[in-house]
Structure 1
Amino acid sequence: MIVPRSQAFLRHMASRLNDLWSASPTPVPDQAKVLFLVAGLSVGGAERHTVTVRAALARRGFPTSLLAVGSRRSEVIAALPGAEDAEQLNVKGMSSLSGWVSLWRALRRSDANIVVCVNQAPLISAAFLRLALGTRAKIVCVFHTTILRPSDQIRLPLFRVGLGLADALVYVSRNQASYWRARWLWCRKQAIIQNGIDLDRFGADPAARVAMRQRLDVADDEILVGLVAAFRPEKNHAQLLDVVREAHDRGARVKVLFVGDGETRPSTERLARDLNLDSLVIFAGEQSDVRPWMSACDCGVLCSDAVETFSLAAIEFLASGVPMLMSDIGGASEIVEHGVNGFLFAVGDSQAFADCLMKASDPAIRERLQAQAVRSVQGLSEERMVDGYVSLLHAVSAGSRQRLRRLAPETGPLPVRSAD
């Protein structure tokens, strides 16, 4: 943790470094040209969020582009509106000079007025390349992480310096903002813009539910719990299997639906066999349209132990009329009200998780949760979220002296605030 005195020193040095490149600042037009910079195009909430925001800004008249630094690519993501013309550099890592040169050239070609960097590595790269005159654009970081993975902890010191050089930091959750502000993460402008979804695309669909449950051979009296997420270590798929094993031992008739793919899928499949659950676990793989799969479920689940901050999948489940069981990480408590539209449990607490699942297995309790699910996320619309980003872009364009601006109508204030 950086102590206040060190933090003040970082602010001072960042301001001095910014003065070096901004002595003759390039004016930003009203409709700024916006470049979104991501590490890759793999399946994930941050990637989906990025292409959604980009497509929405383009519809509102902003010239936009998307640049992926690495080689990771999912055809599901690449086919989404907002990703169809993405440029991919296929850089294998930023440890080589050639990677930095490729990105420097790409930033120069983009001629962007604002670069929106998604998470740590893109922000670090863009901030330092701006010092090397790779771009004169304003730099905004959209940060999707609360609890860092060990690999991300290594980058944290550089991330702090990069944020000191950036023009704005966006948190996607109030809880996340509180967590990092308490740890002295600093940027000259900070905003909170909660994630949102296209609520018109989701809703309870009884016909789709019946058809998918028949396809999956799920009986009416069986509880189908769904986890829609990439198979990555922090998503903690194994914990769900352990909890379902315990729930079966306690008499619950539960089946599991996994939608997604990734590095930990093979180990999860082995664990399902080892726990004698292989006949009760469905691996659906990546799906371009998750709606019928979500509609088939009785409960959605997210049991992440790191990274998770404001899950799009959780909002989509609730918008589909499906209550959520979530580990209380990041902004989970901003999405799920315990006992109202789902249940929360402490990260890593399998006993509490199992107790939540047993409660949700009770038809009367589940019906009460389902009744609140849709209305609980009506404030988390894509339009509200995009309004926030439009306001943010205008605030950043206005220059660093602006101290406060409301971003968008929401359940509470979403200020762009000066950190000075």
Structure 2
Amino acid sequence: MKKILFIVPSLRLAGAETQAVDLVNAIDPAFATKTLFTFEKDLSQLARVDRGQIEVLNVPRKSRFDLSMCDHIARLIDERGIDLVHCTMQFALLMGWIGARRSRKRPPLVCAIHITRNKDLKTELQDVLLYQWLLRSCRKLIFVCDAQRRHWLGKFHGLKRAAEVVHNGVDLQHFDADRLRPEGACFRQQHGIPASATVFCCVAGFRSEKGHAHLLRAFSEVLRQQPQSWLVLAGDGPARAEAQAIVHERGMASRVLFTGALSDVRALLAAANVKVLASTAVETFSVAMLEAMAMGLPVISTDIGGAAEAVIDGRTGLLVPCADEEALARAMLELVADPERTAVWGAAARALVAERYTREGMVERTMDVLREAMRA
């Protein structure tokens, strides 16, 4: 039996980490024994990990430049006889590459990349000066959508040899709107949201690239024309204070709800009518987007990363340019004005996820890539 070491920086509540936990949980234990290694302190999703079949090790780094966990990785590789190291995101690859180089066994590396457009020049330079060379050393590179693969190969043609596409996927049975309708009704009741209100929701960490400021300014125009609308923001992070200040300045406190980070977003999704994704950078193929679609919600998204591969404009939602607050407001108003079309698009969204973006499909395709990496 093969032995695979999965390296994820943290288990925070975010899309890449959620996808990684889903993947490790779902890979057949008859295919490989699984060890999950993290090196940041945030273990918010630890309870989601199937500890009965997965060994979890957390070795928090002591400082930004602490590389001592690489020695732990090297020992793990040699002591467990690891056949493959799977890294989620570039920084995990750096730790995995150093650890593998320090081991006697030196297993092949696979890296799953979850970023497309970088948020600033610094991270772009890191790709150019460091990460592209580490990525070239990988046996396989996993991109989570077609647009992301085209973007990276456009920047670094030398990655083509190893590049594979495995779309993110979600568990349709877990995200079942019909079964969760009572929870949605309860969510509205608990927060004083009328049953007749149109509820937009955004599930995202409060970071600048998630576009909360753009979304809130667009929503202020929606409220001016459709005052019965609500916006629910789930998540936490450094940009939350700025978002709350915008809500206060524009007098929207009675229609904008901050829930904080939610360990389970299904009640919110069951309560909502439309999912909004306003990201301006980093976003590639949002797991939160797929979860909402699986719950039968149409999605309004900025045209970023591979969003257009799931948000089929005029069929499962609407696409708008990044940071275009007027276009975002128009899209939101379009769906407020036509609840019947909103429901039809929501049904089409779930059907598309069932056809192309299930967790089972993601796991099966990933296992094929891992088999190939271990055979090469």
* Same topology, TM > 0.5: yes
Distance of 1:165 and 1:93 partners within structure 2: 26
Aligned-pair distance for 1:128? Answer: 3.6
- Counterpart contact for 1:93–1:99, Cα < 8 Å: no
- Counterpart contact for 1:325–1:342, Cα < 8 Å: yes
Aligned-pair distance for 1:225? Answer: 0.6
Which residue number in structure 1 is paired with residue 107 of structure 2? Answer: 137
Which residue number in structure 2 is paired with residue 197 of structure 1? Answer: 170
Distance of 2:293 and 2:363 partners within structure 1: 20
* CA shift in 2, pair 1:105/1:269, >3 Å: farther
Distance of 2:214 and 2:13 partners within structure 1: 21
Secondary structure in 2 matching 1:33: strand
Match of 2:20 among 50, 61, 67: 50
Distance of 1:141 and 1:320 partners within structure 2: 30
Given the alignment of the two structures, is residue 146 of structure 1 paired with residue 146 of structure 2, yes or no? no
1:270-349 equivalences under 5 Å are 270-349=245-324
Which residue number in structure 2 is paired with residue 377 of structure 1? Answer: 353
- Counterpart contact for 1:36–1:116, Cα < 8 Å: yes
Distance of 1:182 and 1:204 partners within structure 2: 39
1:155-304 equivalences under 5 Å are 155-156=126-127, 157-187=129-159, 188-205=161-178, 206-304=181-279
Secondary structure in 2 matching 1:278: coil
Aligned-pair distance for 1:292? Answer: 1.3
> What is the CA deviation profile of residues 33-56 of structure 1, one whole-angstrom value per residue up to 9, with x for unaligned ones?
111111122111111111111111
Secondary structure in 2 matching 1:115: strand
Which residue number in structure 1 is paired with residue 86 of structure 2? Answer: 116
- Counterpart contact for 1:169–1:189, Cα < 8 Å: yes
Aligned-pair distance for 1:109? Answer: 4.2
Pick which of 263-272 and 142-151 moved more: 263-272
Distance of 1:132 and 1:102 partners within structure 2: 10
Equivalenced residues, count: 367
Distance of 1:72 and 1:263 partners within structure 2: 15
Pick which of 40-49 and 363-372 moved more: 363-372
- Counterpart contact for 2:214–2:324, Cα < 8 Å: no
Distance of 2:245 and 2:77 partners within structure 1: 44
Amino acid at match of 1:369: W
Distance of 1:93 and 1:122 partners within structure 2: 15
Secondary structure in 1 matching 2:87: strand
The structure whose Rg is larger is 1
Distance of 1:190 and 1:387 partners within structure 2: 17
Gaps of 5+ in 2: none
Match of 1:350 among 325, 330, 336: 325
Distance of 1:274 and 1:39 partners within structure 2: 37
Pick which of 369-378 and 153-162 moved more: 369-378
What do you get for the CA RMSD once the two structures are aligned?
Answer: 2.0
Amino acid at match of 2:37: L
Secondary structure in 1 matching 2:2: coil
> What is the CA deviation profile of residues 210-263 of structure 1, one whole-angstrom value per residue up to 9, with x for unaligned ones?
222222211233211111122222212122111111111233532111122222
Amino acid at match of 1:361: V
Aligned-pair distance for 1:335? Answer: 0.8
Identity %: 28
* CA shift in 2, pair 1:231/1:111, >3 Å: farther
Distance of 1:390 and 1:143 partners within structure 2: 16
Secondary structure in 1 matching 2:6: strand
Distance of 2:71 and 2:29 partners within structure 1: 32
Which residue number in structure 2 is paired with residue 368 of structure 1? Answer: 344
Amino acid at match of 1:282: L
- Counterpart contact for 1:359–1:365, Cα < 8 Å: no
Instruction: State the TM-score, normalizing by the size of structure 1.
Output: 0.82
- Counterpart contact for 1:123–1:162, Cα < 8 Å: yes
Amino acid at match of 1:374: R
Distance of 1:323 and 1:108 partners within structure 2: 48
